[in-house]
Amino acid sequence: MKQLTRRDLISLEQYASDRARLRSEVIAHKQLRNVQVGPNMTWCFEDYTTIRYQVLEMLRAERIFESDGIQGELDAYNPLIPDGSNWKVTLLVEFPDPGERRTALEKLIGVEDRCWIRVSEMERVFAIADEDMERENDEKTSAVHFLRFELSPSMVDAMKSGGSLSIGVDHDNYRHLLSPLPGPIRDALSRDLD
């Protein structure tokens, strides 16, 4: 999948006039890329479209017009675009109540390393988590993590041939499984692989 460049962006003025339409398109696009794993986790499978939108939102929110600032955002977000043999996921740990969230994050230390995918009946692949920075400490984990799932060539071939996809979390305090993922989601994720 291609990386974002400045040529892929539009001016902030143009974005302001197109924002409602683009937001609606991205929300529809994400319906096949955001997966609820148990009651308190969402996996957001990122791609070119989701990251382009995120960069445009950041440029707008931060009022970034300068070339260096724009390049900085591209450099920060491009690593979240899958590159043909993997999926990249923003993991959101969601507890609406602040007290419940604090307690849960204390119990979920290491959960990002216990997230996995499985293509057909092949071995599970556990996430490579938070390559950019550490997001937990001895007391609690973060509510947001960035995951990468590396697939072998045989897994990529199986996905392209219609193989099933299961995902799950295997943590002592959070065990959930989705098997298999619905066909439309599986198909959308297959298109990330080349």
CA-CA distance, 63 to 85, in Å (whole number)? 34
Judge if 103 and 16 occupy the same domain: no
One domain, residues 92 and 120: yes
Residues 179 and 154 in one domain: yes
The model's pTM is 0.93
Handedness of CA 182, 51, 86, 156 (dihedral sign): positive
Q: What angle do CA 124, 186, 105 make, to 5 degrees?
A: 55
Asked whether residue 7 falls in the same domain as residue 66, the answer is: yes
Question: Are 76 and 88 members of one domain?
Answer: no
Q: How far apart are CA 28 and CA 177, in angstroms?
A: 24
Distance CA 73, CA 78 (A): 8
In whole angstroms, how far apart are CA 12 and each of 17, 40, 73?
9, 35, 14
Number of domains forming the structure of the chain:
2
| Helix ranges, the chain (H) | 12-30, 48-62, 67-77, 98-107, 153-160, 183-190
* 116 and 134 in a common domain: yes
CB 146 within 8 A of CB 129: yes
**Whether the Cβ atoms of residue 47 and residue 188 lie closer than 8 Å to each other:** no
Range of the domain at 103: 32-46+82-194
Residue 75: enclosing H or E segment and its boundaries? helix 67-77
**Whether residues 113 and 189 fall in one domain:** yes
Does 178 lie in the same domain as 109? yes
Query: Same domain, yes or no, for 113 and 70?
Result: no
Same-domain check for residues 102 and 65: no
Statement to judge: residues 107 and 170 lie in one domain:
yes
Return per-residue pLDDT of the chain as tens, 194 residues.
789 999 999 999 999 999 999 999 999 999 999 999 999 999 999 999 999 999 999 999 999 989 999 999 999 999 999 999 999 999 999 999 999 999 999 999 999 999 999 999 999 999 999 877 677 788 899 999 999 999 999 999 999 999 999 999 999 999 999 999 999 999 999 999 98
- For residue 17, the cross-strand partners are none
Residues 75 and 125 in one domain: no
